Structure 1
Amino acid sequence: MRNRSPRPTADGSPPTTGMSRRSLFGAGALTAAGLSLTGCSSPLAAGLLGSQLDPETVVYWNLFGGGDGVRMQDMQSGYRDLYGPESLQATTLAWGNPYYSKLTLATVGNQPPDVAVAHLTRAKPLWAGGLLDPITEDDLAGVGLSSADFNQQAWATQVTDGQNIAIPLDTHPFTLFYNKEVCEQAGLLDSDGLLVDLTGKDAFESALEEISAVTGGLALSVANVSETSTPWRFFWTLYNQLESATPFLSEDGAVLSVDEASFVEVMTVVQEWVEKGWLNSNLDYATSQTTMFTGQAGFYLQGEWEIATAQSIEGLDFGMAEIPQLFDKPAVQADSHTFILPRKDRSPEQRTLAMQFIKEMLEQSLIWAEGGHIPSYMPTFESAEYQALEPQRHYAGAADHAVYDDPAWYGGSGSTFEDTVGAQLGLVQQGALTPERAFAAIRSQLEIYTSTPSPL
């Protein structure tokens, strides 16, 4: 096993106290959260209740299931191969709010993991609640990293209050999938079998018209039934391509600052595409995929993580591309999985251990990229192996103009904000609401959150 050299504790770490009011709440709330903590041999119990662990063991929490979960397990195995089978205690918890609730409770209870995963958009409220340790330049340098090693859009977005709060593993953008058979018949593929340039609203709408002529109906499928995140990603992508776009939320979620005219402009376009028969009015997540996979539509918009699903369909010839710039500037909704250091008392050795674990995960991020995510670690991104990945390399540039959700205690991926706003956007696509009525409903429904201080 490798030897780890200790370093001084990083300056600027927030002070920790004994049993504060926050900690007392956290300790009492663990049972209320419904966590099963029986037996000190449980990894979750060890992380929450502080059972004795080898000081050389990293306690790590993540929220990855499905294909992402399998790849993360492979990366964890790579770490154990280097440092020994007892070097890592990894726990996977349920995606979304359940994960963040448990991470919050463990931290306020003063028993968090050493390292955890967080969406960048969810790391921001954790930081605002005093639940994260900052990551200094010395922390990075101590394991051979620097800010220059990362995609600068993701890196700049994680910087909050002048401090590094997270280390990006990836960027995962909203992406255009296309059925090559349909697009070839529509005359939309170049000599290499790739989608032609569709920059500009006129060019994109012409493509939708050509595809519709091939399919006899839909050109583009976007999930909007029993699904709220996809309508939000769809809107946030197009909205941020407008020069007139303003933040949807400001002052950490206390102010609704979205530009109403731009909101209406985007959702009017969406409504027009439905009326012309180019875009579906009612499709759930699974059916929106099937529609493109089976050639009933040529285009499908979803997160790049669905690459694994597309690759599993026998006989499907598909491609992927960045969502074209339809309006004034390139932009695409995205988030990043990041590594965070939950707030806790750390010795210099423990801090080095946590950072070394993160570094080893970054070194294995080609495994992660095979599942569709764009690596934020530039040595991986620039490697010949990544640049040869198909179709990943054709949408990799989206990371440079990724637009993240605005910081808010109730916001981020899989959040109350996305559920609230996405539901109204989906109703516009279904034809049940006008853009103006949807905007009014969003304003009304978000008022309780904008007027409520963060509970963290």
Structure 2
Amino acid sequence: MRRRDTTGPRSAPALGRRVFLAGGLAAAGTALAGCGPADTVLSGRQPLRQWNLFTGGDGARMVEMHAAYRKAHPGIDFQPSTFQWGNPYYTKFAMGAAGGRAFDIATLHVSRLRGLGVGTLISPVPTDLLAEHGITRDTVFPNIWDKCTIDGELYAVPLDTHLVVTYYNRPVCEQAGVLDSDGQLVEIRDENHFFDVCAAVKEVTGQYGVVTDTTHAWRPFWSLYRQLGGEMTLDGELGIDDDKALRALDFLRRLSEEGLAPKASDGAATPANFQNGIAGLMLSGNWELPTLKDAGMDFGMRPFPGVYGEELGQGDSHCFVLPVRREPDDDAVAAAVEYAAWMLKHSITWAGGGHIPAYMPTTESQEYADLQPQSDYRHAAEDVQFDPQAWFSGSAAQLQADAGAIFTGVHTGAVTPEAALDRFKRTAQDLIDTPSPV
């Protein structure tokens, strides 16, 4: 197998890559990570070890896409491994990447790039090679591509955007008179309008107007704070706009205190409450879509409500990254980059789970336009609000966990917005003062 230094000037495509492009995948199933077996070497197939954190509905769609990839690539010995979502996966990723022999390509959240060793554990993506497969900044949502770019180097290939959106029970909202002439939920004009809509919906359900995951209150908080123009810096001294943060937290307090939303609703109970008709609106991630579809609900979706201006919603992006290698391997990098490009080009399957594909030819296709209600919130990807940058920030990171634990008390009434903000600021500063473990 030919090897070269992938960090220096890149030479013309190698024979190994051309042979690889003519090939495809091997047997079905999920393989354990590790070096390719002996029959791989004897057969001449290129090994490709992939790590991901997709279970549940996302996992089922990933398996479906991988099955199609195998069928199209019989010359590749594809070995995917799925690990538990969240900190277990990211701990495994850091240990595996540090070892230098765990995977050829892995899935991450874009928000975790800086905290997981950009340049030390994660290698830049060769954009010239990626462009050979038709993936450039012009084919991907530019804001997502730019988020994957650090110090002028592309460190990840974005697969999607996922973010908090608004779900609405169509029959309930029709009865409440809050649908527009096209049968979609009316666009929220301001804070008072949102509370009026929730009150109208509550009149129909007899219980609540809206339900939101009170244990993950960071997501709506960050959405509202960003709509207000709030900035947050997590370097040296915490930078936060107290007035805007208090206004966002007071919004959460009002929802529960005025009886428009449950004071407590965790991740599992929230879609169940919405599905059971306890509330006619739900503020949650677009990843809940398959559950509601499977339940046969008549529902619609639109971006997170523009309570304080634009419909900005907190979110993230799943992406593919390459490890820093102890020994540069041109053929392994070529296989990994082609795999990432193939997944982007076939991401209409991924869109079925609610995520917005990052590959614009997919989201601009008629096939995607026919996906309902996914296509109704496509434009939200252009304005997704990523978490503030820090090694402890992002999906499944400590900042989200700590903020959720603190802000849930605002919903229950256990703490005031002022007390919650003070506690959050102390906690965030403690995290800032803690050195990164990577």
Check whether TM > 0.5: yes
Q: Structure 2 counterpart of 1:335, which letter?
A: D
Tell me by how many angstroms 1:277 deviates: 1.0
| TM-score, L = length of structure 1 | 0.86
- Which residue is 2:317 aligned to? 336
Residue equivalent to 1:237: 223
Aligned length: 414
Is the 1:304–1:373 contact (alpha carbons within 8 Å) kept by the matching residues of 2? Answer: yes
Alpha-carbon shift at residue 321 of structure 1 (Å): 0.9
2:34–2:102: 8 Å Cα contact kept in structure 1?
no
Residue 304, structure 1, aligned to residue 304, structure 2: no
Give the AA of the match of 1:46. G
Residue 11 of structure 1 corresponds to which residue in structure 2? Answer: 8
Corresponding residue of 1:393: 375
Measured against aligned partners, the alpha-carbon deviations of 1:331-355 in whole angstroms (never above 9, x if no partner) come to 1101000000111133222221111
Q: Distance in 2 between matches of 1:12 and 1:279?
A: 57
Q: Which moved more, 1:422-431 or 1:212-221?
A: 212-221
Q: Unpaired runs of 5+ in structure 2? A: 11-29
| TM-score w.r.t. length of structure 2 | 0.89
Q: Does 1:218 align with 2:208?
A: yes
Note the C-alpha offset of 1:219. Answer: 0.4
**Within 1, Cα distance between the matches of 2:9 and 2:396?**
31
Q: Which one-letter code corresponds to 2:231 in the other structure? A: T
In the alignment, what sits opposite 2:16? Answer: none
Q: Secondary structure at the match of 1:340?
A: strand
Structure 1 Cα separation of the partners of residues 9 and 223 of structure 2: 36
CA contact (8 A) 1:119 1:338 kept: yes
Q: For residues 307-330 of structure 1, what are the alpha-carbon distances to aligned partners after superposition, in whole Å with 9 as ceiling and x for unaligned?
A: 01101214x211111112111334
Cα offsets for 1:195-250 (capped at 9, x unmatched): 122232232222112112222231010122xx3xx31111111110012x012x33
| Corresponding residue of 1:62 | 52
Q: CA deviation at 1:45?
A: 4.9
Q: Which amino acid aligns with 1:358?
A: A
For structure 1, which runs of at least 5 residues remain unmatched after alignment?
14-41
**Per-residue Cα deviation, 1:362-420 (whole angstroms, up to 9, x for no partner):** 12100000110000001111111011100001111110110111222222111111110
Preserved CA contact (<8 Å) 1:132 1:343: yes
Distance 1:8 1:416 in 2: 36
The equivalent of 1:137 in structure 2 is: 127
Which residue identity is paired with 2:314? Q
Match of 1:277 among 246, 259, 267: 259
C-alpha displacement of 1:128:
4.0
Q: RMSD value over aligned CA atoms?
A: 2.3
Distance 1:91 1:135 in 2: 21
> SS at 1:380's partner residue?
helix
Amino acid at match of 1:171: T
Q: Distance in 2 between matches of 1:350 and 1:46?
A: 14
Alignment check: 8 A CA contact 1:170 1:373 kept: yes
Deviation at 1:7, TM superposition (A): 9.6
**Corresponding position: 1:198 with 2:188:** yes
Measure the CA separation in 2 of the matches of 1:376 and 1:343.
Answer: 24
Letter in 2 for 1:246: E
Superposition deviation, residue 129 in structure 1: 6.6
What's the CA shift for 1:86? 5.1
Contact 1:127 1:165 in 2 (8 A): no
Deviation at 1:287, TM superposition (A): 2.3
Residue 44 of structure 1, aligned match among 17, 32, 46: 32
Cα 1:406–1:300, aligned 2, differ >3 Å: closer, same or farther? same
1:246 aligns with 2:231: yes
Indicate if the aligned counterparts of 2:46 and 2:335 stay in contact, CA closer than 8 A. yes
